[in-house]
Amino acid sequence: MARFWDSSGNLVIRPSALPGDTAIADPPSTNLVDLAPWMRGLDTHGGGAAGWHPAIYNSVGTEDPESVGGQLAVAVAAATVNFNNRNDRNGAAVVAPTIAADGTAVDHTANTDGTVNISFEWSWSGTNSDIDGFGIYIHQSTTATTYTFGTDPTTEQVYSVDSAKRAFLLYGVAADLYYTFGVRAYRQVDPDINAARVIQTSIVKPSLAAENPYRPSASVAFAGDVTGTVNGIAAANVNVWNAVTGTGKPADNATVGADFASNLANIPYATIYNNNGAAVMGFNPTFSEWSGAYPSGWGNYSGAAPTKETVLVRTGRFAVRYSPVGADLGMVMAVTWPSVAIGSSYVSGAFDARMVAYTSGGAPGIVVDLFVDAALTTIRRTIIPVTDKTMIGVWQRVPFTAGVNPGESIYGVRIYVMASWSGMPGGQNTSTVIFDNLQFDITPLKSRIHLVGNTATEVLFKESAPSFASGLTAGSPQVVVQSDNLPARTEGRVSGGVIVIQFACSIYGTSLSANRNLQFLLSRSSDNGATWSGEVTQITATAVAGNYTSVSTMSQHIPGAGDVAPYRYRIRVDPTVSFTESIQCFGHLTIFDAMR
């Protein structure tokens, strides 16, 4: 075998030369000193860079110390240093991120299409080059329940951001859902440093309850223009009065929804008591409309503003939540009509209350003031506390009546919703309470009412205002109100029929030195009041010193078949403990006879 340069300048080894080959004359040698010049000759043969470069050798036949495996030694050294110094070789624990607890960690901006963009921010005290980035965890829910990451990974979204980032933006999501955010720092490492190839912190969440989870808004507000149709109506015609069709459309929409309080003098008296008074007078009784910090129409009486309750709601969209801590706290609204005197009437209604928590003190409730003069300087006050302040977690319906003295007229209504008040039985309190659905009417007093279109029911109404100047003695009941006889019926009464007796009373105890417990007893007579029977305690109430107190109850009487007696009914009051201070009662007794 011999060595040749072929016609292209390539080194070849074959038995004999081919046309164009040139024999290599250098003698063979195993000595590197002899081999080195030959190798350098190969390196320069054919024009240097175009030749064959098997290796780089020095003049004594050994490998050049400035190269390693054909690579410059300096390059190999730099690569070795980088491998050992990169964070992939760092097995130290990663510093955990922190989140501010001042309400600035999570925020949002609204979009015109009803969605929101939510921002999530965190801090980190480490060096950015020590980690590869942050993992951002997001969970979305329809409820306010606190979520722990890892509970259901299929419902979690995970994003990775650069180690220099300290904020994350979530674009175009629903405004009325609940979002839980979390962040962790991580470093990816070589498998000999950590078998999982990653060192990371636990997931850190906001500690503020309002941000864990975070709900941008209780409702979705669309700020753009609607095109096409709305419920089949062209969008362009939705707010065009002439395009509105259907029965009951007013001829002029300019005065529709005019403020009742400013126009009350021009509204017939019948309109006031034949409608729900709270709604007609603009009291916003379900607290569904809000203007700033209070339900529309209401303002501050004392203390901080209420919270708009969106979850525990009895009627409508919202309710009112208060959390008093042993101080007066509440809101107030008044509607007056000094040029219109509403006589021979009283106020009756009810409100809903829910005790979320109770610690100590008196009861929450409402206070009703009735103005009895055109100058709006004199009031008759009625205090209505929550029925059971210790009944937690359920709605209580609290009925009430508020009256004025016989012969007085009503010129306005002022109502306080009092979460805590020194004038309530037991005084101020520490609790959490929700109010909703405050409804009432101004009810006319009439001696007798026949229900229109219902000849099968007779309704009797009777009022009385006895004054007990020397107080009351326990065990000696005094009459508060007594009805007239129901008409006798020769044809008798239907078996199983019922007579309903409704009693409402306002107790005025200005001169009382202390609260007094009173029992109201119901009895009946079938001989024009000569004898009375069946007396039972209908309700026990507390007369509050210096104020009106409202009492309301309902009962029934079921006479036997063929009973034609002309029944009458009465309510008497009996104190549990005798007292000598003056007290006055304004009683209203309504009898519904459905026995015809």
| Per-residue model confidence (pLDDT) at position 66 | 59
If you average pLDDT over residues 170-174, what whole number do you get? 94
Model confidence at 62: pLDDT above 50: no
| Per-residue model confidence (pLDDT) at position 270 | 36
Fold of 260-444: Jelly Rolls (2.60.120)
Q: What is the dihedral of CA 400, 406, 410, 415, to 10 degrees?
A: -30
Model confidence at 478: pLDDT above 90: yes
Model confidence at 53: pLDDT above 60: no
Greater confidence, 166 or 558?
166
If you average pLDDT over residues 324-329, what whole number do you get? 94
Distances (CA, A) of 273 to 40, 258, 268, 287, 586: 119, 19, 10, 21, 20
> Residue 51 — pLDDT band, cuts 50, 70, 90?
very low
Greater confidence, 350 or 510?
350
pLDDT digits (tens, 9 = 90+) for 105-125: 999 999 988 899 999 999 999
Residue-range domain boundaries for the chain:
2-89, 106-211, 260-444, 448-593
| Per-residue model confidence (pLDDT) at position 46 | 45
| Per-residue model confidence (pLDDT) at position 123 | 96
> Residue 257 — pLDDT band, cuts 50, 70, 90?
very low
User: What's the mean per-residue pLDDT of the chain?
Assistant: 81
Count CB neighbours of 480 within 10 A: 25
If you average pLDDT over residues 131-155, what whole number do you get? 95
Of the ranges 54-58, 301-305, 355-359, which one carries the lowest mean pLDDT score?
Answer: 54-58
Model confidence at 1: pLDDT above 70: no
| Per-residue model confidence (pLDDT) at position 328 | 96
Q: DSSP alpha helices (H): ranges in 86-180? A: none
Is residue 217 classed as helix, strand or coil in its secondary structure? coil
Q: DSSP alpha helices (H): ranges in 500-560? A: none
| Per-residue model confidence (pLDDT) at position 321 | 97
> Residue 60 — pLDDT band, cuts 50, 70, 90?
very low
If you average pLDDT over residues 331-341, what whole number do you get? 89
If you average pLDDT over residues 486-512, what whole number do you get? 69
Model confidence at 207: pLDDT above 90: yes
If you average pLDDT over residues 184-199, what whole number do you get? 94
Question: With pLDDT > 90 as the criterion, what percentage of the chain qualifies?
Answer: 44
If you average pLDDT over residues 285-299, what whole number do you get? 91
Domains 260-444 and 448-593 share a fold: yes
Say which CATH architecture domain 106-211 belongs to: Sandwich (2.60)
Most confident of 18-32, 439-453, 510-524: 510-524
| Per-residue model confidence (pLDDT) at position 347 | 84
pTM: 0.41
Model confidence at 43: pLDDT above 90: no
Model confidence at 352: pLDDT above 80: yes
If you average pLDDT over residues 504-508, what whole number do you get? 81
Strands 429-444 and 342-343: unpaired
Phi, psi for residue 243 in degrees, rounded to 5: -90, -10
Q: Which amino acid is at 267?
A: I
Model confidence at 159: pLDDT above 90: yes
Greater confidence, 255 or 207?
207
List, in order, residues 6 or more apart from 81 with CB less than 8 Å away: none
| Per-residue model confidence (pLDDT) at position 248 | 57
If you average pLDDT over residues 155-178, what whole number do you get? 94
> Residue 249 — pLDDT band, cuts 50, 70, 90?
low
Of the ranges 245-249, 413-417, 562-566, which one carries the lowest mean pLDDT score?
Answer: 245-249
Greater confidence, 98 or 275?
98
Length of the chain: 596
Identify the DSSP state of 415. Answer: E
Phi, psi for residue 201 in degrees, rounded to 5: -90, 175
| Per-residue model confidence (pLDDT) at position 250 | 57
Greater confidence, 485 or 423?
423
| Per-residue model confidence (pLDDT) at position 355 | 96
Fold of 448-593: Jelly Rolls (2.60.120)
Question: With pLDDT > 70 as the criterion, what percentage of the chain qualifies?
Answer: 78
For the range 578-581, what are the long-range contacts, defined as Cβ-Cβ under 8 Å and sequence gap of 24 or more? 578/471, 578/472, 578/473, 578/474, 579/471, 579/472, 579/512, 579/516, 580/470, 580/471, 581/471, 581/509, 581/511, 581/512, 581/513
Model confidence at 456: pLDDT above 50: no
252-265 burial, b if ≥16 CB within 10 A, otherwise e? eeeeeeeebbeebe
For the range 35-44, what are the long-range contacts, defined as Cβ-Cβ under 8 Å and sequence gap of 24 or more? 35/61, 36/60, 36/61, 42/11
Model confidence at 141: pLDDT above 80: yes
> Residue 260 — pLDDT band, cuts 50, 70, 90?
very low
Distances (CA, A) of 259 to 101, 173, 267, 412: 44, 38, 11, 15
